[in-house]
């Protein structure tokens, strides 16, 4: 096991201290990322130019968005109408109006698609209403517990999916120096790797851990070649090693000064805390001709808490370390302390809650290119300690923390990540399965893994299947940030090249006189081919057209054996009413149909009554009766094979029967 135990044989884990506990149980959280869903958004009609009006003087152009707004102003409100209105303003970045309609949508207290809670929250944030936005985010998270954004809201992190994306960028293999005992850690001292090992079993009276049965760890050094192969190790000479534990060394670039971790033991004396435990301290030694000089402990050490695992900044003016000193957030935190020009030290500073958690943060390391690495079991990982990477700016700002993924990390403890200066190899320690001993040192080499694919698509006009031209296609990442916008070609084709694999995207299609449509896409190891159909916002009408299809009007339902217009049917009829009011020369034929159930004569009468009720409703709203005709067809014009005659019975589903219970509004005059 990894460092350390006290002089009495009390077991400690890596980077933690006597009171710490650790479970190697793997934490698995499977996330399903559903980034964005299809949205149907209707845009405003732009003014028709005079030339176009002449060319189509016998046709009518219907602006759906204006119709919906007029419907709402008249009190005809439905989930569908509010969704489309809110989305239209949302995609146009008119967040104030979008928030207005999203608010009315939510206030209906009807079942709505969870995406609208999320979009409503975003619009509220743009308006500065963060309290209400947070409430909407909670509603969204509750309805989408397995979606990435919900997890971000609930837990603030993205786990396994992010780790998967960061995996596969290193090769890994066991090194030549490992034994059946604990071998771990690593620091570069000239052309040697210095590491800790419990392999020394030859000394008479050598102290042994009562819990593990292994000897205390000591520092060893092994020369490495250009490929990172390690030669036979030898124990570090001089006063570095004692009869207690040593580990975690870091050296200055000139090789003349080292800092390392040891149990609280110096000048032949063992220190203990108030609980009689021997904790950890950092010691310093300098090279004196042909040996390491006297080891001195650093002034911020204490008998009452542990200080361990030193690392140096690139300029060697800052020392980083792990400690559980007062003020720590968790079991062990990462700290920094300045090294002054006169050799003195500043006051240790906790790196803060961005890096430190209630768990263990330990084994810091700074590469020559300035990246900060550390091991943690508090940040989301694969289990045990995982290795993480970030960068700390000169002002102390900490960039995004990244889990290095597999094979660096495993379900076990992975720690002590180091890269050889100006070399293409490094080392990491782990107690993963398949090793030679308790802890092993693994050689790692970066892999230039770049997986990209293409997203190819075709935009078609829904209904006509004719390729849409002059259409803008936007590619968004999983945080809905625009990556790139392109224009579909004359045949409706578009291509996004060099898109990263194993990532989620959204494709947004929009254009003049077309609805905006957005679809989620997941790119794996193969390219994507996508066909997207979009609706025309401005519809061309002619005699014989069914106006109900223009607006995708739902079936107008009546209660059983009744023909009165219900409130939900009135919302649908209001769309027809608005068009008739906008085009006073238009005439319609109302045609009502039933399914096959009940007697044919009964159905004919019922459909006649419902068609007449529809006509009378429109007349009651101000439409001249001379513009309307009404006729019922009963079950004589079924649109599927759901006939019931002669036994008045059918095996069709309710959904199939429902398709036949429909009303049509055919244009007879313009």
pLDDT on residue 16: 40
Structural contact between residues 48 and 520, judged by C-beta atoms closer than 8 angstroms? no
* pLDDT more than 90, % of the chain: 33
- CA separation for the pair 296, 315 (Å, rounded): 22
To the nearest 10 degrees (0 to 180), the angle between helices 95-107 and 115-126 is 140
Instruction: Please tell me the chain's helix, strand, coil percentages from 3-state DSSP, rounded to the nearest 5.
Output: 20, 30, 50
pLDDT digits (tens, 9 = 90+) for 25-55: 222 222 222 222 233 222 222 332 233 334 3
Q: Which of 164, 167, 166, 158 is nearest to 479 (CA)?
A: 158
- CA separation for the pair 151, 320 (Å, rounded): 32
pLDDT on residue 546: 86
Instruction: Classify residue 255 as left (phi > 0), alpha (psi -120 to 50) or beta.
Output: left
Q: Which of 397, 402, 371 is nearest to 158 (CA)?
A: 402
| Residues 99-107: contacts with CB under 8 Å, at least 24 apart | 99/123, 99/124, 99/127, 104/72, 104/77, 105/79, 106/136
Q: Could you tell me the pTM of the whole model? A: 0.51
pLDDT on residue 28: 25
Residue 339 burial class via C-beta count within 10 angstroms: exposed 0-12, middle 13-18, buried 19 and up: buried
Average pLDDT score over residue span 264-276: 77
pLDDT digits (tens, 9 = 90+) for 478-528: 878 889 999 998 888 999 988 887 788 999 998 888 888 888 888 877 788
pLDDT on residue 659: 79
Eight-state DSSP code of residue 627: G
Average pLDDT score over residue span 278-300: 89
Average pLDDT score over residue span 617-641: 92
Higher pLDDT, 231 or 378: 231
Structural contact between residues 462 and 534, judged by C-beta atoms closer than 8 angstroms? yes
| Residues 343-347: contacts with CB under 8 Å, at least 24 apart | 344/299, 345/298, 345/299, 345/300, 345/319, 347/300
pLDDT on residue 127: 80
pLDDT digits (tens, 9 = 90+) for 443-467: 999 987 667 789 999 998 876 777 7
């Amino acid at each position: 096991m990894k460092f350390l135990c006290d002089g009495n044989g009390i077991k400690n884990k890596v980077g933690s201290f006597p009171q710490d506990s650790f479970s190697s149980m793997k934490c698995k959280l499977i996330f399903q990322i559903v980034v964005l869903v299809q949205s149907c958004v209707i845009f405003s009609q732009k003014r028709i130019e005079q030339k176009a009006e002449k060319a189509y003087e016998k046709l009518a152009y219907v602006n759906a968005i204006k119709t919906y707004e007029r419907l709402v102003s008249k009190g005809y409100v439905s989930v569908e109408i509010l969704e489309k209105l809110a989305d239209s303003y949302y995609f146009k970045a008119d967040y104030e109006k979008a928030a207005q309609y999203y608010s009315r949508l939510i206030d209906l207290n009807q079942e709505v698609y969870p995406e609208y809670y999320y979009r409503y929250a975003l619009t509220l944030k743009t308006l500065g209403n963060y309290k209400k936005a947070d409430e909407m985010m909670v509603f969204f998270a509750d309805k989408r517990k397995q979606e990435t954004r919900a997890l971000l809201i609930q837990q603030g992190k993205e786990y396994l999916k992010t780790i998967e994306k960061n995996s596969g960028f290193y090769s890994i293999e066991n090194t030549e120096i490992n034994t059946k005992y604990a071998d771990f850690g690593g620091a570069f001292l000239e052309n040697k790797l210095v590491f800790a090992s419990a392999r020394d079993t030859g000394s008479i009276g050598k102290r042994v851990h009562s819990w593990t049965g292994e000897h205390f760890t000591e520092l060893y050094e092994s020369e490495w070649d250009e490929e990172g192969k390690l030669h036979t190790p030898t124990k570090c000479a001089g006063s570095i090693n004692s009869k207690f534990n040593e580990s975690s060394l870091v050296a200055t670039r000139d090789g003349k000064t080292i800092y390392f971790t040891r149990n609280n033991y110096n000048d032949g004396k063992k220190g203990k805390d108030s609980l009689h435990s021997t904790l950890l301290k950092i010691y310093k030694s300098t090279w004196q001709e042909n040996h390491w000089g006297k080891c001195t402990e650093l002034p911020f050490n204490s008998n009452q808490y542990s200080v361990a695992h030193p690392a140096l900044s690139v300029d060697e003016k800052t020392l980083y370390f792990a400690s559980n000193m007062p003020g720590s957030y968790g079991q062990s935190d990462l700290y920094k302390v300045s090294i002054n020009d006169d050799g003195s030290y500043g006051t240790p500073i906790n790196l803060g809650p961005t890096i430190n958690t209630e768990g263990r943060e330990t084994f810091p390391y700074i590469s020559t290119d300035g990246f900060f690495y550390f091991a943690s079991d508090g940040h989301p990982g694969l289990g045990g300690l995982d290795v993480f990477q970030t960068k700390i700016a000169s002002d102390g700002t900490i960039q995004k923390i990244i889990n290095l993924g597999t094979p660096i990390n495993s379900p076990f403890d992975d720690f002590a990540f180091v890269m050889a200066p100006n070399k293409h190899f490094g080392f990491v320690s782990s107690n993963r399965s398949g090793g030679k001993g308790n802890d092993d040192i693994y050689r790692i080499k970066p892999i230039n893994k770049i997986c990209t694919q293409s997203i190819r698509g075709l935009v078609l006009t829904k209904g006509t299947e004719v390729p849409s031209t002059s259409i803008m296609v936007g590619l968004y990442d999983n945080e809905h940030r625009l990556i790139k916008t392109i224009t579909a070609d004359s045949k409706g084709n578009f291509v996004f090249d060099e898109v990263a694999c194993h990532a989620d995207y959204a494709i947004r299609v929009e254009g003049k006189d077309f609805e905006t449509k957005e679809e989620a896409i997941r790119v794996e190891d193969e390219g994507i081919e996508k066909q997207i159909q979009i609706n025309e916002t401005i519809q061309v009408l002619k005699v014989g057209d069914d106006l109900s299809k223009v607006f995708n009007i739902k079936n107008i339902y009546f209660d059983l054996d009744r023909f009165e217009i219900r409130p939900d049917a009135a919302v649908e009829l209001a769309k027809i009413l608005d068009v008739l009011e906008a085009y006073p020369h238009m005439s319609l034929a109302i045609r009502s149909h039933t399914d096959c159930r009940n007697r044919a004569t009964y159905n004919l009468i019922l459909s006649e009554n419902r068609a007449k009720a529809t006509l009378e409703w429109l007349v009651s709203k101000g439409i001249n009766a001379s513009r309307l005709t009404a006729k019922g067809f009963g079950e004589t014009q079924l649109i599927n094979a759901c006939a019931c005659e002669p036994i008045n019975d059918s095996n069709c589903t309710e959904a199939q029967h429902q398709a036949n219970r429909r009303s049509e509004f055919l244009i007879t005059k313009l």
